[in-house]
Structure 1
Amino acid sequence: MSISDAPILHAKPTSNSNRKFLILFALVIFADFLLFDREPGLNLFVFANAVAAGLLICSRKSLSFSKAAGLLLCGLIASVPLIETPSWMGITICLLGLSCVSLGAGGLLPRQWTRLPLVLLRFVLDLPARPFRRVSYRWLQRLQKPSARGVRHHLRGWIMPLTFAAGFLALFAAANPLIDRTLRSIDLTFLLQLLSMWRIGFWLVVAAVLSVLLRPGLMRRRRHRRGAAEVVTSVEDGLFGHAALLRSLIVFNALFAVQTLLDLAYLWGGASLPDGMSHAEYAHRGAYPLMVTALLAAIFVLVAMRPGGPGDKSVLVRGLVHLWIAQNILLCLSSILRLDLYVEVYSLTELRVAAGIWMGLVAVGLFFILLRILLRRSNEWLIALSSATLAMTLYAAAVADIPALIARFNVAHSREISGEGIVLDLDYLAALGPSAIPALDTYLVSLPADSDVRRVRDALLRQQEGRSPDWRSWTYRAARLDDDLRHEAALAR
């Protein structure tokens, strides 16, 4: 038998329960050492991988070496964005990776990757109901059993010796002044700091999250009644019958054609707009409503083109759906162009970057819907592919230094540097954090006498230098910025 096929991490139920208790206790202590009262940084990456290793050690079923290594690699890759800088997107990706590791250790991962998003959804939906289940009741029953063996049994065996030892020590202190003086000299103030309410709350939160990962569960599927399913199917056939779909698609394609021709003329063709309206106003008023329109169109297509429905069997309806999806994709591209025109006139913000990414994701999702119809795939395949695209987009956004990108764009397109656009918004650059310092340095090269920019730059520099020097708070983004600042200071000298 090869090493890759050798089963590992196999344990009996009782020993596995004790192992989970010990791993939970050790991880809570490790979290206190790494995370409590510390700035987030490298400590999040280290703790996430420690949790992944602990989950594999407490595996419910025997795992082969290759599967255990794959799950550990999944947790490692998912936590890499936390090295760049702690962000909500990076934490979300890391939690998704740890959820996959937990499901894999519990033997709950599906064999087909297309079912993974629904399994993760069932895992998340099961979380609110877990505290109200009978797990705590079973633990209390185990504690009451005199035949129970393991960690709890040994801990209970220490109650009597420690109680009598404390009593004897108090008697000895009363009888021996040396012992009394030694006991009085012991400083126990650190225990008060250790047992602060914030610290205990932190322990409880970490223990609650870890207990969910150590004992994964999935929300049970509800069986649909056959009669209810027949009613739903009949309603869908009535609302989305062949005639209704054909008429809807003809009307929708005509309406979208008008909007598409207007965009082709004014956005892509550069035609002159009516008096009193600029291209920026035309772009800004249409970007976000058109995205809602595309989303509603996607929902309509998914409902109308369900497998085996009236729309799926008609060649004419399928052709009109293909044409409508193509117009929706062009609509998304027009929305991106609208946003680009608006940003060129005004400035770039994090919300506008998020809007551009969202528009691109909607266009890709519509393309996936078209592929699903052409390839005759299931909605499960569509959800899995769309979820994978969304996860990769979040991963890239968590790694990229978006504040630095925004600062460089706004400085380069400001009225002071380019002669066009709007005046540089220093308050917004200050809100972006120390990542904006290189862009401000570029500004000061062209206009070194601007005192307001230098004041903002000095404030951001103090914020960067005020970071904790502890290795647990280290981030690659901050270290990279420190290296750039040291290099610029050496060149200046």
Structure 2
Amino acid sequence: MSLSNATVLSTKPISSSNRKLLILIVLVALADILLFNRYPGLNLFLFANIAAAGLLICSRRRQSALETSALLAFNFVASAPLVETASRMGITISLLGLSCVSLGASGLLPRQWIRLPLTLLRFLLEVPLRPFRQTSYRWLQRLQKPSSEGVRHHLRGWIMPLSFAAGFLALFAMANPLIDRTLRSIDLTFLLQLLSMWRIGFWLAAAVFLSLLLHPRLKRRRPHRQKIAEVALGVEDGLFGHAALLRSLAVFNALFAVQTLLDLTYLWGGASLPNGMSHAEYAHRGAYPLLVTALLAAIFVLVAMRHGGPGDKSALLRGLVHLWIAQNILLCLSSILRLDLYVEVYSLTELRVAAGIWMGLVAIGLFLILLRILLRRSNEWLIALCSATLVLTLYAAALVDIPAFIARFNVNHSREISGEGIALDIDYLLTLGPAAIPALDAYMAALPAEAKEQIALASAARGALTWGEWQEPRDWRSWTYRAARLGRYLQEHPTLAR
């Protein structure tokens, strides 16, 4: 080989497949350092942003500095809740951010933002099918080719140097007692720990996860089949024709009007209920079934008010749909009021907080459906706005310390503090974790000295939560702002001063 050819080969840039493989190895190593056998915390935030940077480095597309900065900033904001605490909602939002960066690095992001939810759905639906796709093994086939650019070529180049180096090292150990003693003093237990089955399994899982991000694919769209479309259209016209829609909406509006009038009378108006029934029972029995009712109503409206259908062309049907959606929104607000009345009597729980959030989301969704009909927008527009509302709600919930809020609410509304409601359920506060410690301190500080039994129970619960918090092994990788706040509080209040 001539000198000029050797110079060209040495200065040739690394191919895209080899660069992705190198980045994959580096990211798996960083995942091992940051995540393996560690409590989740700051390490998740750091790894999410490092992985985003790695995805952009591996991009085949030439991206401008503005596009790269925008994707990195978006991923930073999406993973920011992980700094507060490593919750399931924060992890979900961070994964969505990484998915968007992966699609952006591969040029698969849609130009219109309303198409982003469907694009992400196609990306997620393709993940289970990836092992069965022939395209997922293209990079392995390229590695098997006897090319001078393949990884096998570079690996073969290390066989001779490493073999001779091992032989020379063995000879030096035989000739030099210092080298022999140094080699014998090496502790191989570290290698055994490094090659444990759990660690290897973690490496494989991390490699699979990162490979999906490095090689994103979208689920293929099925070709439109005219016969199936005609059959489906015929079924829709039969079930959701003008006459069927008119009768359905008339019956539904009349039925919902009865429920609305009852809620306006007994729930909003506060009228006296029949003997043996309390407002709490009336509220509790209706909260969750009415939520399901509103969801079914939303599905019916979407199917009935399709573009070009009878409901879209008739002014009478549109008016009945508007009235029905308004009643459903009022139904959701009534469900939220029912839940609030029940919570005032029977305290707050995480499930009831989640139910309240979902009721609000359903009400917003119904309002967006009404906007979609009035503005004559597409279902894609509706899905995009509903998805954005859901993501923003999860993002806000990931930043709020919900267990601490529940604990404070139950303490402030307990019978011992407010004089109304039920006694504080200390056993439930234990299930909320260490976030309930400040609320327990406020509870014990507000109790009179004569309430020795309640003070003893609360003190025992605080001691158990405090002991559990201090026993958790933590380092800088598991740091979160929420845990740091609680740790600072416990240092300032090691015991309750009465």
Normalising by structure 1, report the TM-score: 0.94
Is the 1:404–1:435 contact (alpha carbons within 8 Å) kept by the matching residues of 2?
Answer: yes
Count of matched residue pairs:
482
Instruction: Give the superposition deviation at 1:143.
Output: 2.9
RMSD: 1.9
Instruction: Give the superposition deviation at 1:418.
Output: 1.6
Q: Tell me the percent identity.
A: 77
Instruction: Give the superposition deviation at 1:425.
Output: 1.1
Aligned mates of 1:176, 1:60 — CA distance in 2: 52
Change (3 A) 1:360 1:147: same
Aligned mates of 1:236, 1:377 — CA distance in 2: 20
Instruction: Give the superposition deviation at 1:483.
Output: 2.5
Which residue is equivalent to 1:471?
Answer: 476
Moved more, 379-388 or 20-29: 20-29
Instruction: Give the superposition deviation at 1:176.
Output: 6.0
Which residue is equivalent to 1:353?
Answer: 353
Aligned mates of 2:371, 2:103 — CA distance in 1: 30
**Which residues of 2 match residues 298-377 of structure 1 at below 5 A?**
298-377=298-377
Cα distance per residue 1:29-71 (max 9 Å; x no partner): 1111111111111111111110111111111211111111110
Decide which of 451, 473, 486 is 1:481's aligned counterpart: 486
Change (3 A) 1:140 1:396: closer
Aligned mates of 1:208, 1:145 — CA distance in 2: 23
Aligned mates of 2:495, 2:178 — CA distance in 1: 62
Aligned mates of 1:215, 1:294 — CA distance in 2: 40
Aligned mates of 1:438, 1:491 — CA distance in 2: 10
Aligned mates of 1:14, 1:473 — CA distance in 2: 36
Which residue is equivalent to 1:401?
Answer: 401
Is the 2:283–2:341 contact (alpha carbons within 8 Å) kept by the matching residues of 1?
Answer: yes
Which residue is equivalent to 2:425?
Answer: 425
Is the 2:253–2:323 contact (alpha carbons within 8 Å) kept by the matching residues of 1?
Answer: yes
Is the 2:143–2:151 contact (alpha carbons within 8 Å) kept by the matching residues of 1?
Answer: no
Which residue is equivalent to 1:380?
Answer: 380
Is the 1:93–1:394 contact (alpha carbons within 8 Å) kept by the matching residues of 2?
Answer: yes
The one-letter code matched in structure 1 to 2:28 is V
Is the 1:142–1:148 contact (alpha carbons within 8 Å) kept by the matching residues of 2?
Answer: no
Q: Secondary structure at the match of 2:15?
A: helix
Aligned mates of 1:246, 1:163 — CA distance in 2: 84
Is the 1:55–1:102 contact (alpha carbons within 8 Å) kept by the matching residues of 2?
Answer: yes
Is the 2:144–2:150 contact (alpha carbons within 8 Å) kept by the matching residues of 1?
Answer: no
Which residue is equivalent to 2:44?
Answer: 44
Instruction: Give the superposition deviation at 1:253.
Output: 0.2
Is the 2:266–2:273 contact (alpha carbons within 8 Å) kept by the matching residues of 1?
Answer: yes
Aligned mates of 2:236, 2:386 — CA distance in 1: 25
The one-letter code matched in structure 1 to 2:231 is V
Moved more, 459-468 or 248-257: 459-468
Q: Secondary structure at the match of 1:421?
A: coil
Residue segments in structure 2 that go unaligned for 5+ positions in a row: 1-11
Instruction: Give the superposition deviation at 1:153.
Output: 2.6
Aligned mates of 1:359, 1:241 — CA distance in 2: 31
Which residue is equivalent to 1:435?
Answer: 435
Instruction: Give the superposition deviation at 1:484.
Output: 2.8
Aligned mates of 2:136, 2:171 — CA distance in 1: 40
Aligned mates of 1:339, 1:182 — CA distance in 2: 71
Change (3 A) 1:168 1:354: same
Which residue is equivalent to 1:262?
Answer: 262
| 1:145 aligned onto 2:145 | yes
Which residue is equivalent to 1:7?
Answer: none
Instruction: Give the superposition deviation at 1:183.
Output: 2.6
Is the 2:116–2:384 contact (alpha carbons within 8 Å) kept by the matching residues of 1?
Answer: yes
Aligned mates of 1:55, 1:139 — CA distance in 2: 17
Instruction: Give the superposition deviation at 1:466.
Output: 2.4
Instruction: Give the superposition deviation at 1:136.
Output: 5.8
Instruction: Give the superposition deviation at 1:458.
Output: 1.3
Instruction: Give the superposition deviation at 1:175.
Output: 6.4
Instruction: Give the superposition deviation at 1:173.
Output: 4.5
Instruction: Give the superposition deviation at 1:434.
Output: 0.9
Residue segments in structure 1 that go unaligned for 5+ positions in a row: 1-11
Cα distance per residue 1:248-270 (max 9 Å; x no partner): 10000000000000000000000
The one-letter code matched in structure 1 to 2:191 is L
Aligned mates of 2:494, 2:411 — CA distance in 1: 21
